[in-house]
Chain A
Amino acid sequence: MDVFFRDPFGWVSRTWNDLLTGLGLSSELATLLLQLVGAVVLTGIVLTLSGVFLTWLDRKLSARIQDRLGPNRVGPYGLLQSVADAIKLVTKEDITPDGADKVVYNLAPLLAIMSVAGLWAVIPFAPQLIGTDLNVGLLYLISIGSIGTLSIIMAGWASNNKYALLGAFRTVAQLVSYEVPMVLALIIPTMLAGSMGMGDIVARQRDVWFVVLAPLAALIFFISSLAEVGRTPFDLMEAESEIVAGFNIEYSGMKFGMFYVAEFLHAFTISALTATIFLGGWQGPGAAAFPLLGLVYFLIKTAFVYFLLTLIRFTLPRIRIDQMNDLNWKFLTPLALAAVILTAVADKAALEAGWSRTGALLAANGAIALVTVLLLGRHARSLRRRLEARVARATGS
């Protein structure tokens, strides 16, 4: 029993191997089967249950924030509401628009979910539990995320609808633009950990989390991921008032359900990623000795970031597309570049001069934040002065 608690995943794989080699299979086939079962458990059970649970959570949280009750009729506390929604979507008529390209039309929702599920392959849940410890894990995240962009433009074009196409163009512009600060922000944990592998990044956060060493990078990564997912305040991809709900207006029934669930899962995935890269993943007191405790810490941190995401979603208004472009190219990208350069300089300087690494990095981040706030303040003041001058001219005072 003690062996089980100290090394549960090793125990599981050893027992599985013994069982299957006892039946006569070769050892590598047994390992392959174990990985296959793991993948099926992850996508079939964990992700499906998360999708169902998250839609219920979203409606309950939004209801409480907006001072109402939320679903409370179907099942205890309305927990079976998502099941009812899924049954409704499945029984809806599956319409394919006239003149739509059938193969591409049906492939787009599949690609959307595939790209989100693929991200879970490199997330470390617990000390020995990771799908595959790629040594280029961070870059793998970016590349699989860009397949989701492809699915959106396929959806917009295959619907044979000009407005869907326009919505898809704007959405793809947003997604491709916000990859730039995301990649730049991800360079900083790579520098701090010395490796792009997710397992290494979590292992290096044993003493101090990266959110303390690089708060600006965490903030930039969080904001860019919000834009990548298409969550408010960046949800002009799917809002009903923006070009008639964007690229998925011609989708009905379960295909629309797949886009919907893919968005929630993507939001959950980026909460897991922020928790892994910046909040220490499974690190916590006692996690190295008892891996199951590491799994619990990981889930708590992911839930915390997801709550933060949902709070932001139901508090902030939606931003326009020109404001979104300005925010990305005029604010986030220069900020991310400055953060990368100063973090590299501060890290090296702390190493050479023997200062505390945390102190030097915090000082660098604080300096950037101070300069940014001063510059923004000056910019806002000049805008206000110009506006007052214009009002004064117009009223002839």
Chain B
Amino acid sequence: MIPLSWYLVLAAAIFCVGLYGALARRNAVAILMGIELMLNAVNINLIAFWRYLNPGSMGGQVFAIIVFAVAASEAAVGLALIISIYRRRSTVAADELNLLKW
């Protein structure tokens, strides 16, 4: 009843919104939120392809579960880094953290 194209368009749209968020925002936590949006879009894509093209094998769902685990670890470490940076520099704006620039 629902063609595959609808799911893929939704996933592409959320991915592009997340990409814009990751590229254009100044606050480091906002960049991380954009990355989370991109990971969710990828998950929708994986599960849609699993359901429509290959529902017999479990590979699609396993891949999505691994993406959950990776997203969780990356969010944890990223936010720990951001809090540590905030303690030292009192700012989390990405363009003010430029000590390594030449």
Asked if A and B form a direct contact in the complex, defined as CB atoms under 8 angstroms apart, the reply is no
